[in-house]
Amino acid sequence: MLKALENKILKEGIVLNEEVLKVGSFLNQQLDPSFIMEMGDEIARIYNDEKITKILTIETSGIPIAFAAGTKLNCPIVFAKKTASSNVSGNVYKSSVYSFTHNKTYEIIVPCEYINKNDRVLIIDDFLANGKALLGLIEIVKQADAHLVGCTCAIEKGFQKGGDSLREQGFRIESLAIIDEMSPAGITFRCN
């Protein structure tokens, strides 16, 4: 766990309702570059010995964190684009993702040329809630026949169970901060 992220969430996070945390001041709308680099350093420390050849993320808010980790792990970063399914053409991996924050399902696509069976892939995203975004990205790694090393999200909301369910399925999920409870009155983090 990254204590500095927990402190940042306590200082700047806004609990919009019992399911959604707003971190627009440093991650989702305005970016705090040096803090995002700190998150990247921590991710690189976790996966330092794993010979990651590619980081896979999803637009938009996964990109800065993935970029920060990529500068340290020294590998390319591929981001899945969200698209209306009618736009999909060419040689692409694709899967669909249900977003509970937007209450809609969208296609995510990655051109086949960017991930292949020789890759050791690390998936990165900003939030982990019910796990649908990670499952969509995992599906793309499967379609590429690449090796999935693990998944890291900056902020996991432990009470929404996506992370624990993926761990039970055998995936390596390393979140930088895990929120066990949140309400406008306060936020409680999982101890490690």
Which of 1, 12, 28, 172 touches ligand 5GP by CB under 6 A?
Answer: 28
For tokens 């901060």, the residue is 177
Q: Count CB atoms within 10 A of the CB of residue 27.
A: 26
Asked if 63 interacts with ligand 5GP (CB under 6 A), we say no
d(CA 182, CA 15): 7
Q: Which two tokens stand for residue 99?
A: 């977003």
Asked if 158 interacts with ligand 5GP (CB under 6 A), we say no
d(CA 97, CA 139): 10
d(CA 21, CA 128): 11
Asked if 21 interacts with ligand 5GP (CB under 6 A), we say yes
Asked if 133 interacts with ligand 5GP (CB under 6 A), we say yes
Q: By C-beta, is 74 or 103 nearer to ligand 5GP?
A: 103
Decide: 175 and 147 in contact? Cβ < 8 Å: no
Stretch that binds ligand 5GP, among 6-14, 18-26, 87-95, 105-113 (CB under 6 A): 18-26
Q: Count CB atoms within 10 A of the CB of residue 123.
A: 28
Asked if 128 interacts with ligand 5GP (CB under 6 A), we say yes
Kindly state the smallest distance separating residue 187's Cβ from ligand 5GP, in Å.
Answer: 11
Stretch that binds ligand 5GP, among 2-10, 32-40, 119-127, 164-172 (CB under 6 A): 119-127
Asked if 25 interacts with ligand 5GP (CB under 6 A), we say no
For tokens 């020294």, the residue is 74
Q: Which of 149, 132, 143, 131 is nearest to 54 (CA)?
A: 149
Stretch that binds ligand 5GP, among 16-24, 34-42, 85-93, 184-192 (CB under 6 A): 16-24
Kindly state the smallest distance separating residue 134's Cβ from ligand 5GP, in Å.
Answer: 6
Asked if 132 interacts with ligand 5GP (CB under 6 A), we say yes
Report DSSP letters for 115-137, one per residue.
--TT-EEEEEEEEESSSHHHHHH
Residues at the contact surface with ligand 5GP, assessed by CB under 6 A: 20-22, 28, 61, 99-101, 125-133, 162
